[in-house]
Amino acid sequence: MKNIAIIGSGISGLTTAYLLSKKYKVTVYEKNDRIGGHTATVDVNVDGKDYAIDTGFIVFNNKTYPNYLALLSELGVGRQATEMSFSVHNCITGLEYNGHNLNTLFAQRRNIFRPKFWMLVKEILRFNKLCKTVFERQDYYDGYTLGQFLKDNGFGSFFADHYILPMGAAIWSSSLAQMELFELRFFVQFFHHHGLLNIADRPQWYVIPEGSRNYLPPLTKSFANQIKLNSRISGISRSDEKVIIHMEDGDAETYDEVVIACHSDEALALLLDPSDAERSVLSAMPYSENSVILHTDERLLPNRKNAWASWNYQLSDDRDKAASVTYNMNILQGIESEHTFCVTLNQKADIDPNKILREFTYHHPTFSSASINAQKQRHLICGLKHTHFAGAYWHSGFHEDGVRSGVEVAQRFHCYLKEFEPKS
């Protein structure tokens, strides 16, 4: 029986470990004192009441999360329907809207009389239609960016800055300037598959009842005793026949195979003997750092409650500023409370310190033409030298992509989710 090491206990590592443990001995190494990575539900007590709030991974849907849904089904974990709405509030001009329905779209009633706002609505419809045509015809080329597409098709800055760029920035935790540099092919494919080019017929979104962490116990049940928390790995070396995990305290452990399921930059840093291909591919897929604050300061939401959405973007005059988005967790998780629980990215200075409950730092993959080209070179490094790489960075950077990457590694060892198991 193969003895396999898995580095990292985010969704990619745990999915891989769950599947491989059906046939092999697995050992999971985690540098932190908890498992789960971006699956990070935290307990808070406010005014004597306890709440479980998701601060990392929150939502999934019924159309573009097939691997994650199959995993939940196999584990017997339920789901709870939620609303996925999006608002924009311009801190300079005061304009705000929530695209959920007509009432919220015109939450700021004076927008009814603003020709510029009606033009925004018209441009949204034109953009969606044009992108659907682009997707059907595959009418794009390598390196063609979203910014170029907007310019070439006559979309003005008002539409770009008040709709498509902040929406993309909220999804990928990037700045407006970075969104303009997004490769159009990647952008259109993602928006099409997630139904974001439709006004109706969008996916149904879900959360895990009482917090996303509730899928972790059944996922890890079969290998819980083989998880090593607070692991300090100094490096990984490979030979023709084995893999050696070197620890900072001088110990070393030998395995038949290793699955490196941490971020691409962390994976490269762990390799003591990286190949040229490993250096080239992994270094082309960087991560960005995002400050995440759990708080109850409603000032980070639009001024009008009708404009409050699941995701709320605050526009400033700084196009290079990291994504300034606030998740309304009461809407997303169906929390009933007199307090509004918010999870805000990259705006700590704007939050009342007395209303901050917890602080975190998360890292998200940064996508560009270089990183997308690197994704296509996965075959040059995965499965060689007894080494396999798993992570959401191989696809679109989301929870489903982490599961998918773990499934793809496990398939090399003939281990499958039951729903996708080959018929004999």
320, pLDDT greater than 90: no
Shortest CA distance to 107 belongs to which of 390, 99, 384, 9?
99
276 or 423: which leads in pLDDT: 276
CA–CA separation, 311 vs 85, rounded Å?
6
CA–CA separation, 360 vs 42, rounded Å?
11
* pLDDT more than 90, % of the chain: 88
Inter-residue contact 393 to 268 (CB < 8 Å): no
187, pLDDT greater than 80: yes
CA–CA separation, 115 vs 121, rounded Å?
10
Q: How many CA atoms lie within 13 A of 293 on its CB side?
A: 21
Beta bridge partners of 381: none
The predicted structure's pLDDT at residue 61: 95
DSSP classification of residue 139: -
Q: How many angstroms from the chain centroid is the CA of residue 152?
A: 30
The predicted structure's pLDDT at residue 314: 94
Shortest CA distance to 341 belongs to which of 362, 322, 356, 363?
356
The per-residue pLDDT for range 193-251, each reduced to its tens digit, is 888 898 777 899 999 999 999 999 999 999 999 999 999 999 999 999 999 999 999 99
Domain boundaries, the chain: 3-39+212-284+370-420, 85-201+287-365
340, pLDDT greater than 90: yes
154, pLDDT greater than 80: yes
Beta bridge partners of 301: none
CA–CA separation, 13 vs 389, rounded Å?
10
Beta bridge partners of 96: 89
Beta bridge partners of 345: 292
Between helix 11-20 and helix 399-411 the angle, nearest 10°, is 30
173, pLDDT greater than 90: no
Inter-residue contact 19 to 407 (CB < 8 Å): yes
Inter-residue contact 56 to 137 (CB < 8 Å): no
CA–CA separation, 344 vs 328, rounded Å?
9
3-class DSSP assignment, residue 272: coil
Q: Which two tokens stand for residue 178?
A: 């970075």
DSSP for 142-186 reads TT-BHHHHHHHTT--HHHIIIIIHHHHHHHHT--HHHHHTSBHHH
CA–CA separation, 392 vs 112, rounded Å?
42
Q: How many CA atoms lie within 13 A of 329 on its CB side?
A: 28
The predicted structure's pLDDT at residue 424: 62
3-class DSSP assignment, residue 225: helix
* pLDDT more than 70, % of the chain: 100
- Please state whether beta strands 60-61 and 205-207 pair in parallel, antiparallel, or not at all (unpaired): antiparallel
Instruction: Determine the number of helices (DSSP H) and then strands (DSSP E) in the chain.
Output: 15, 20
The per-residue pLDDT for range 22-60, each reduced to its tens digit, is 999 999 999 999 999 999 999 999 999 999 999 999 999
Q: Who's near 154: CB < 8 A, 6+ residues apart?
A: none
How does residue 369 score in pLDDT terms, banded at 50, 70 and 90? Answer: confident
The per-residue pLDDT for range 105-141, each reduced to its tens digit, is 999 999 999 999 999 999 999 999 999 999 988 877 7
CB-based burial, 232-269: b 16+ in 10 Å, e otherwise: ebeebebeeeebbbbeeeeeeeebebbbbbbbbbbbbe
Q: Which two tokens stand for residue 264?
A: 């691409």
DSSP for 69-134 reads HHHHHHHT---EEE---EEEEETTT--EEETTSHHHHTSSGGGGG-HHHHHHHHHHHHHHHHHHHH
The CATH class of 3-39+212-284+370-420 is: alpha beta
CA–CA separation, 134 vs 105, rounded Å?
27
CA–CA separation, 389 vs 260, rounded Å?
5
pTM listed for this prediction: 0.92
